[in-house]
Amino acid sequence: MFASQRRDKIVEWLQKHEQLVIKELALVMNVSEGTLRTDLRMLEEEGIVERTHGGAVLARKKSMFREQHTATRSELNYIEKQAIGQEAARLVTKGQCIILDASSTVLELAKMLIECDYLTVVTNGLEAAMILNQNPRINVLIVGGVLRSGSKTVEGILGKGLLEGIYADLFFTSAEGISIEEGMTDFSLYEAELKKRMAANARRTVALVDYTKLGRRSIATSVKIENIHTLITDNKAKREYLNRIKGVEIMIALPNDKK
């Protein structure tokens, strides 16, 4: 298990149990107590946990946690996003070139790809890039641009030269919302424009959207419905709405406890 995966597991444990004892969790995760202490020290430096005698609890500054880590450990619809990421990973095969946007849903896909062999990944998401770069068999290319304030997302079209020279097999993307009329939409005009260019340089575009985003719309269109090849959503999505989407392959992701 990679360090980033371990730390995600630690946070998930704390969200469920509210506190942890190092000796106990070391046995559960099958790692050394020293490794756990190192992970907890890193999480404490990030403001996520507070260490206690022999263990740890979540930091009291929940607002800081949400602001700094929404892209990596978003609590909003996490189970659905994780299931969607797992389903999307089934589409990825050895030797492909894929493009990932910087959304929290696509980040869950990135976590599932960490042990893949011989992938080339192009992304504007720094968090996804850092996770995948831990595997030497994955070639990671970061799209240049402007680092969005308070996030780990690069946006803008300064990296369009890199994209123009890449022909990807798959582009995985999410959005603030998706509607039949406007397609996938985002609040940021710059982000929407970058996603348009990403879609143009991929053979297939795969939309990853949880049930809360269906029928919603934001300011700027990134990918129109007719340019989406596959849409992956969760089992809470309204079937009536999905049935109205024509010409798009629909895949339903089930949480692990429903499989």
User: Each residue's pLDDT tens digit in the chain (259 positions)?
Assistant: 677 778 888 988 888 888 899 998 988 888 999 999 988 988 887 778 888 888 899 886 443 333 444 444 455 688 999 999 999 999 999 999 999 999 999 999 999 999 998 999 999 999 999 999 999 999 999 887 766 655 677 766 665 667 778 899 999 999 999 999 999 998 888 889 899 999 999 999 999 999 999 999 888 999 999 999 999 999 999 999 999 999 999 999 998 766 6
Contact call for residues 39 and 32 (beta carbons, < 8 A): no
Could you tell me the maximum CA-CA distance found in the chain, to the nearest angstrom?
A: 58
The CATH number of whichever domain residue 226 belongs to comes to 3.40.50.1360
Range of the domain at 93: 73-258
User: Residue 184 has which token pair?
Assistant: 């996938």
The pTM of the full predicted model, rounded to 2 decimals, is 0.71
Instruction: Look at residue 177 and tell me if it is in a domain.
Output: yes
The whole-angstrom separation of Cα 124 and Cα 135 is: 18
* Residue reference for tokens 């946006």: 155
Instruction: Look at residue 144 and tell me if it is in a domain.
Output: yes
The whole-angstrom separation of Cα 135 and Cα 214 is: 34
User: What type of residue is 255?
Assistant: P
The whole-angstrom separation of Cα 248 and Cα 118 is: 29
Contact call for residues 208 and 232 (beta carbons, < 8 A): yes
Nearest to 194 by CA among 184, 179, 180, 181: 184
Task: Name beta bridge partners: 120.
Answer: 97, 139
Name the domain count of the chain: 2
Domain shared by 24 and 122, yes or no: no
The CATH number of whichever domain residue 37 belongs to comes to 1.10.10.10
The neighbour count for residue 200, using CB atoms within 10 Å, is: 13
User: Residue 73 has which token pair?
Assistant: 């450990």
Instruction: Look at residue 233 and tell me if it is in a domain.
Output: yes
Instruction: Look at residue 237 and tell me if it is in a domain.
Output: yes
The whole-angstrom separation of Cα 231 and Cα 85 is: 12
Domain shared by 132 and 223, yes or no: yes
